[in-house]
Amino acid sequence: MTVSFALMGKYAFVTGASRGIGREIAEALAGAGADIAISARNIADLDATRTAIEATGRNALAIALDVRDTGACRAAVHHAAVKFGKLDILVNNAGYEEVCPSLDIEEAQWDAIVDTNLKGAFFAAQAAAREMKTGGGGSIINLCSLTSYVGIPTAAPYTSSKSGLLGMTRALAAEWASLDIRVNAIAPGYFHTAMTDGFYASESWRETMIAKIPLRRFGKLEDLAGVAVFLASEASAYITGQCLPVDGGYLASI
């Protein structure tokens, strides 16, 4: 094949990489050849991810980071770029969700969700773009959601943040194309992670959701690995401003 999915010689930063989707993507990028900076609020939570990355023969840099802290976000991205010598890939995966009837939502709850999912992603992307523009460009991948497209009851702040993230993806792609920085997104469908564990505890919920998914199964974390590598690599060199749903056909069927 002449198309390259290889990431040898590339350096990536993955936020929210201690578990679930973030860990899966970090390990996938490492498996494709990239060295990875990984972050989470508690640095000790990154031990397993760091070990898995190093087992592939790649370098791992663990950084404690709460993406809601704009100054810390900028500093962490810059630190990774200095440590590696450049930054080629950013994956904005850090996220937070808390369901609540919209009539009962408090300002602090709104801020915690939106600041993590949208504000944090923007300032991480801004910091990465500042490094990438002097390093030959790069690829930014945002983790959107099915709620970037459809409304979910009791999830107004989360839906707002993920809809905003999709709009941000398109806006930054249009603005930063001249810097050779591509900005795309992935919209996972229904994946069982620690953040969504409460939903999957209900058998009736599982049965209802499976019936809405044409492939008749929930997503496996490895279903996201190839998409992330594709968007990070030269195989997607002419793709920017797009969001790829990985949802078993859910959006196509509603």
Query: What residues are annotated to the active site?
Result: 158
In whole angstroms, what is the distance from residue 124 CA to residue 129 CA? 9
In whole angstroms, what is the distance from residue 37 CA to residue 79 CA? 10
Determine which helix (DSSP H) or strand (DSSP E) holds 81, and give its type and residue range.
helix 70-84
Q: Calculate the CA dihedral of residues 121, 124, 128, 130 and round it to 10 degrees.
A: 110
Q: Which residues fall within 8 angstroms of residue 241, CB to CB, at 6 or more apart?
A: 169, 170, 173, 174, 183, 184
Question: Structure tokens of 52?
Answer: 């898995």
Tokens 């704009």, residue? 70
In whole angstroms, what is the distance from residue 183 CA to residue 102 CA? 31
